[in-house]
Amino acid sequence: MTPLISITGLTKTLKGQGEPRTILAGADLTLHSGESIAILGRSGSGKSTLLSLIGLFDRADGGQYLLNGNDITRIPERKAAALRSEEFGFVFQRFFLLKHLSAVQNVSMALVNGQGWLPRRKRKAKAMEALERVGIGHLAKHKPPRLSGGEQQRVAIARALVRDPKILLADEPTGALDTETGNLVVEALRSATDRGCGLILVTHDHDHAAKMGKVMQLTNGVFENSNQRVVV
């Protein structure tokens, strides 16, 4: 079966004013449908950079990136935007909700991105469905300042899920939450894999990582080992 994501020898070097700094020095990773992977690592180990390359926010300097078997290592930005819309859902540590929009509007904003068009009623229905999936349908009309951190992050997860992505990328989604709320958020993310979605979770929390099917340790831009465990 063709993996959703297959990464081989991915490298990334940041070139700024000073010396070039290698962030990724040959990362390998494979993600199948319904699979969940936790990436652990110290700050600066390259976790977020790897996630931004996988999510096509940026391009790798070397290596190969296959998405559904297609090489997208050097994909142009216009096609990358379409893939971000069709294939990926993103959850960030800071929720990035728009304060002037309600929860349901924040979710449906992912549907107003120029990649196809849905009428307003359908957008709202899909956004409501996504909010119900993460258990906060009753907060649909609330604006972000009136929501707790956990509720805001679940709105962000609903926004990531609303286009039914094949891959969910979460960059330290529990970093700004207490343990209990963090557990709820991780559970909401993990439950997406039950519907066949692949999940990559970048985290510092070993307990949250342990809930994923595979845990990978990134150190100085390379994966040290992989602890493959299937979550029953």
Which stretches of the chain bind other proteins, using CB under 8 A?
A: 48-49, 52, 55, 57-58, 77-78, 81-86, 90, 92-94, 96, 98, 100-101, 109-110, 112-117, 159, 163, 171-172, 175, 202
Closest CA to 89 of 50, 130, 58: 130
Any residues with CB less than 8 A from the CB of 199 and at least 6 apart, and which?
A: 35, 36, 37, 167, 168, 170, 189, 190, 192, 193, 212
Q: Which is nearer to other proteins, 123 or 133 (CB)?
A: 123
Q: Which is nearer to other proteins, 145 or 225 (CB)?
A: 145
Min dist. Cβ of residue 107 to other proteins (A): 11
Any residues with CB less than 8 A from the CB of 43 and at least 6 apart, and which?
A: none
Whole-angstrom distance, CA of residue 93 vs CA of residue 175: 6
Q: Which is nearer to other proteins, 94 or 195 (CB)?
A: 94
Which amino acid is present at 21? R
Q: Which is nearer to other proteins, 70 or 113 (CB)?
A: 113
Whole-angstrom distance, CA of residue 220 vs CA of residue 63: 17
Q: Which two tokens stand for residue 34?
A: 């319904």
Min dist. Cβ of residue 228 to other proteins (A): 25
Min dist. Cβ of residue 94 to other proteins (A): 7
Min dist. Cβ of residue 43 to other proteins (A): 9
